[in-house]
Amino acid sequence: MESLQGLLLAMIIVAFGTTTHLTQAQSDTTEFTSLDCGLHPAASPYTEPLTKLTYTSDANFTLGGQSGRVQKIYEEEYKPFTVLRYFPDGIRNCYNLKVTSGTKYLIKALFLYGNYDGLETAPKFDMYLGPNIWTTVDLKSSLGQGKEEIIHIPKSSSLEICLVKTGKTTPIISALELRPLRDDTYVTTNGSLKLLKRSYASDFLGPTIRYPADVYDREWEQLSLSFAFNFVNTSLNVNASTPYELPQEVISKAVINKNVTETLTYEWIMDEREDQALIYLHFAEIQSLRGNDTREFDITWKGMDENFTVSAYRPQKLQLETLYNTSPMKCRFLGCTVELVMTQNSTLPPMVNAMEAYKIIEFPDAETNPEAVAAVQNVRDAYELSRIDWQGDPCVPQMFKWEGINCSYTNTTIPPRIISLDLSSSGLEGVIASSIQNLTHLQELDLSNNNLSGEVPAFLANMESLLIINLGWNSLTGPIPQALRDREKKGLKLTFHGNPNLCLSDSCNNNKKKVLVPVIASVASVVALIALLALFFVFRKKAPLSEGTAATRELPRKSSIYSKKKRFTYSEVVELTDNFKTVLGEGGFGVVYHGSLSDTEPVAVKVLSESSVQGYKEFKAEVELLLRVHHINLVSLVGYCDEGGHLALIYEYMANGDLKQHLSGEAAGSTLKWASRLKIAVEAAQASVAAHSGDCFSPLRQHFLGSNHSPCRLIIDANSSRSVHSPNRANVAFSQHRYDFMSIGLEYLHVGCEPPMVHRDVKSTNILLDDRFEAKLADFGLSRSFCVGAETQVATVVAGTPGYLDPEYYQTNWLNEKSDVYSFGIVLMEIITNRSVIELTREKAHIAEWVKILISRGDLEKIVDSNLGGDYDSNTVWKILELAMSCVSHSSSDRPTMSRVVNVLKECLISENSRIGGQSQDGDSKNSLELTVDFGTQVTPDAR
């Protein structure tokens, strides 16, 4: 303990004897940041009358939010902060402030509700510093007023302060202030310091002391008055030339006990048992001591595990000294206590002038690599993207990761890197931004379905980490750089379809060298045109329009995996799985292993176990289906093994597991947002309209099906809303109406295939998510086809998963496509509720019956997954509930078709995206939509 005392006092002496560079001069406020939040730019800047500080509008520091004004009855009390900024849109809204990396800042945030919205409901929300939570602001429990303060050292030149919506109320902020501090004050080796209390001794009530009296604009409040205290002061000047530099108004006053023999005690309350505190005590002897007078006392910081003591301390005459516990302490029963006890040598009681208490907040999550952040921000600025969710740190926390961005996460101490950027269908115009090349760890780049022009830049070939580039369906021109072509030969996946003016051959570079006589060129052009027209009419007479014609142009694929279907030997399976080293999962068929066709193309390998009860029949059924269908939202079959009793299926690898894992929290990462859940639901039920029949007569297909088996194809009505525009049409139509180019995934099996197929095992664990979180339906071992195209149902042995199994099919053994509709309705309920399908402990064990009861009570909040934090449009949720309940009707005739299911899902997804984008108006409450449920007979909404 003596060594601790010596260390603490030594630190104080060193502080007094060191001249440390001040961040700013005593009266210089040029490095202060003072934002009046919600202030109109036309009224900015202004000088605050009491502090004489200059405040500016926050309009240029945040992308979102709207301006509000407190009600008139609060204006006088709140001056000058009578306006505020509130954030009705999005979950996370951030302020981006320029700071000096490594500089210590005092950060203050002010919140004045003032019933600006007339709802008389003060908000509650979270605040983050970068990727880490700072505090929870609860204005409900503080009479609509709040202030938060922290001492923090930014690690980069940009500081993100974010307000995060956690419930139904809307985050607000009135003022935001940054003040640089000296680097030798408020020292902590772990974490930042959140202010609990800052007080000084005063025997009268007066205004809070702050700037200009305090050069750092700390705000000092009077110590709570007590009949046990005596207050003393001096008119003499106290030397405050120490790193902490307290105002004269603070250090010239002190408090002592009236009863000189009693202990002088101060307490602060902590939030949590594990919280750690630093408590600073500021001393100066301001009384004139007589010849025999002595003021000496022991100081003890009482912790949960041990105490910290300074013995026989004597304050210096008219000289500021600051003492604090150099090691953070946990407090007993949430109460931090400091005791000042008079020693036997003392004739005067203990005294103290001012005190500060702080809670240590550790910020464990590292910010995204600053170079990557700067690069993606430059991309955002180059294309003038105004996405509401592109605020704050791009990668962390993962629950708020920017849409379209994937990152690498090693551990919390290593800054994440951006490894995937998806800006497809984002309305991008102009050339490909050069700032993309500064994303040095980028592995995937998707700029498809935009209006990009100009040439393909050569710098893309120099981005060594890139594995996939999708530039399809833009207006790019000129040749593709040879360096990119060379990279493509080494495994780079490059997609460029849909750029009619992009030159794909080596002859591009030679055309400039050829100078032809204009007349000859004209004649040649006319001859060529006539020849093409002649060929067109000849072939048109000979062959009808089919899937291979220009009217059904192929949409760009994100992978070349489809072209690699083949039969593998068992030794090849052993090799590509590294002797079955890594297990991904296990089911009734057997074990699924991780494999790799190359260093850049992972696969999943399902190997039939000897004890499998499903066996070769299910193996053949799955191969048969996956060879017939070619659908972007069905898991693709890469190949198979059928050798000497060894059966294996090789699939494309789905990096993000299944939907169930992400709903239940088993998968790492954040809770799926409502929009993401809707997107997955849509993708699980729809796919690209392109029909790829070229593989139908491959040797692999013939091995199982025979050459005469009818391929699965999708018929396209050229006059319908799903008709595909010819390549020379403007790309804008595809960008704006991309859902019109979608067909239905399950309906594709039900109707688009000849003969039709029923999956029979639709469930959340069979909806897999790839590295882009795009959903694909998997596991077709139980799938069955109708023998005759005109049949609507077929008799078969009942198979499926309990809870998802169609009760009509279970009772009658008659299977039809509405059996899949029932299962999909159960999946929709899982997406909404995040509850188990069968749960014996609740009021009704089966999820459909349980939801029905809550619907009858109108209790939407108990139905919807609480992890969503209320971030959804209640009208949209009710609409999906209507859809789900109609899907699970006991009679298949009362269920909608998959066409109807997808149409409703698409409408809801578009509505949700509009809400997130701030384009939708405030939704009605749940009372605006009533749901009439006759479970088993009818599920229909009342008139809206």
Whether 351 and 446 map to the same domain: the answer is no
CA distance 684 to 419: 25
342, part of any domain? yes
Shared domain for 174 and 204, answered yes or no, is no
Residues 6+ apart with CB under 8 A from 680: 659, 672, 767, 769, 773, 775, 831
**pLDDT score, position 350:** 94
The per-residue pLDDT for range 38-69, each reduced to its tens digit, is: 999 999 999 999 999 999 999 999 988 999 99
The SS3 assignment for 863 reads helix
- Regarding whether 144 and 68 lie in a shared domain, the answer is yes
Give the domain CATH number at 140: 2.60.120.430
d(CA 760, CA 806): 9
- Mean pLDDT for the chain overall: 78
pLDDT-derived band of residue 771, with 50, 70 and 90 as boundaries?
A: confident
Final residue before a domain boundary, out of 493, 509, 543: 493
Other CB atoms closer than 10 Å to residue 512's CB: what's the count? 7
Would 846 be classed as within a structural domain?
A: yes
278 and 385 assigned to the same domain: no
Distance spanning both ends of the chain, measured CA to CA? 75
How far CA 800 is from CA of 59, 626, 665, 810, in Å, comes to 57, 19, 25, 9
pLDDT at 927: 32
Q: What is the CATH number of the domain that holds 252?
A: 2.60.120
- In whole angstroms, how far apart are CA 288 and each of 233, 764, 935? 11, 79, 88
Compute the distance between CA of residue 101 and CA of residue 29 in angstroms, rounded to an integer: 19
State which residues form the domain around 670: 666-689+724-941
Residue-by-residue DSSP string for 624-687: HHHHH---TTBPPEEEEEEETTEEEEEEE--TT-BHHHHHHT-SSSPPPPHHHHHHHHHHHHEE
Q: Is 498 left (phi over 0), alpha (psi -120 to 50) or beta?
A: left
573 inside domain: no
pLDDT one-digit tens code per residue, 782-839: 555 544 343 455 445 456 788 888 888 777 777 777 888 999 999 999 999 999 998 8
Same structural domain, 203 and 174: no
Selected catalytic residue, list 36, 642, 658, 761? 761
Residue 552 located in a structural domain: no
Amino acid making up residue 455: E
Q: Are residues 145 and 225 in the same domain?
A: no
CATH number, domain of 423, equals 3.80.10.10
Same domain, 854 and 908: yes
Q: Place 1 in a pLDDT band, splitting at 50, 70 and 90.
A: very low
**Is the pLDDT score of 494 beyond 50?**
yes
List C-alpha distances in Å: 533 to 501, 523, 526, 689, 725. 21, 15, 11, 28, 20
State how many domains the chain has.
4
pLDDT for res 96: 94
392-413: buried (b, 16+ CB within 10 Å) or exposed (e) per residue? bbbbbbeebbbebbbbebeeee
**805 domain residue, yes or no:** yes
pLDDT of residue 248: 95
**Cβ(211)–Cβ(47) below 8 Å:** no
Specify the range with the lowest mean pLDDT, choosing from 26-35, 587-596, 914-923.
914-923
Whether 553 is in a domain gets the answer: no
Q: How far apart are CA 275 and CA 470, in angstroms?
A: 49
Residues 113 and 254 grouped into a single domain: no
What tokens were used for 496? 């460029």
Same domain, 802 and 829: yes
Residues 504 and 523: their CA atoms lie apart, in Å, by: 25
Peptide bond into 80 cis (omega under 30): yes
- Contacts of residue 512, Cβ cutoff 8 Å, sequence gap at least 6: none
Flag whether 525 is in a domain. Answer: no
Domain termination residue (choose one: 154, 181, 208): 181
375 with 354, same domain?
A: no
Contacts 24+ apart (CB under 8 A), 56-61: 58/85, 58/95, 58/176, 61/35, 61/95, 61/96, 61/97, 61/176
Residue 534: the pLDDT is 53
Q: Is 606 annotated as a binding residue?
A: yes
Q: Is 761 a catalytic residue?
A: yes
pLDDT in tens, 109-135: 999 999 999 999 999 999 999 999 999
Where is the domain boundary, 298, 326, 361? 361
Mean pLDDT over residues 510-526, rounded?
Answer: 43
Tokens representing 323? 């003492």
Residues 90/912, Cβ–Cβ less than 8 Å: no
Return the SS3 of 875. helix
Spatial CB neighbours of 823, under 8 Å, sequence gap ≥ 6? 759, 761, 762, 763, 800, 804, 805, 806
Q: How far, CA to CA in Å, does 688 sit from each of 288, 425, 787, 912?
A: 89, 15, 26, 22
Of 246, 243, 218, 248, nearest to 151 by C-alpha is 218
For the chain, how many residues are written? 944
Flag whether pLDDT at 162 surpasses 50.
yes
| Mean pLDDT, range 395-417, rounded to an integer | 88
Burial 909-928 (b: 16+ CB within 10 A, else e): bebbeebbeeebeebeebee
The domain spanning residue 675 has which CATH number? 1.10.510.10
Helices vs. strands in the chain: H and E counts, helices first: 21, 51
Q: Say if residues 117 and 68 touch (Cβ distance below 8 Å).
A: yes
For 330, other C-beta atoms within 10 Å of its C-beta total 17
In this prediction, residue 523 has a pLDDT band, given cuts at 50, 70 and 90, of very low
Answer whether residue 578 is part of any domain.
Answer: no
pLDDT digits (tens, 9 = 90+) for 579-608: 999 988 877 677 899 999 876 789 999 888
- pLDDT exceeds 90 at position 299: yes
DSSP annotation of 698 reads S
Q: What is the CA radius of gyration of the chain?
A: 35
Q: pLDDT by residue (tens digit) across 608-653?
A: 866 554 556 667 666 666 666 656 778 888 888 888 778 888 888 9
**Are the C-beta atoms of residues 466 and 445 closer than 8 Å to each other?**
yes
The DSSP letter of residue 348 is: B
Domain co-membership, 900 together with 768: yes
Q: Which run of H or of E encompasses 866?
A: none
Same domain flag for 226 and 164: no
**Token pair of 24, please?**
């700013």
pLDDT for 226 equals 64
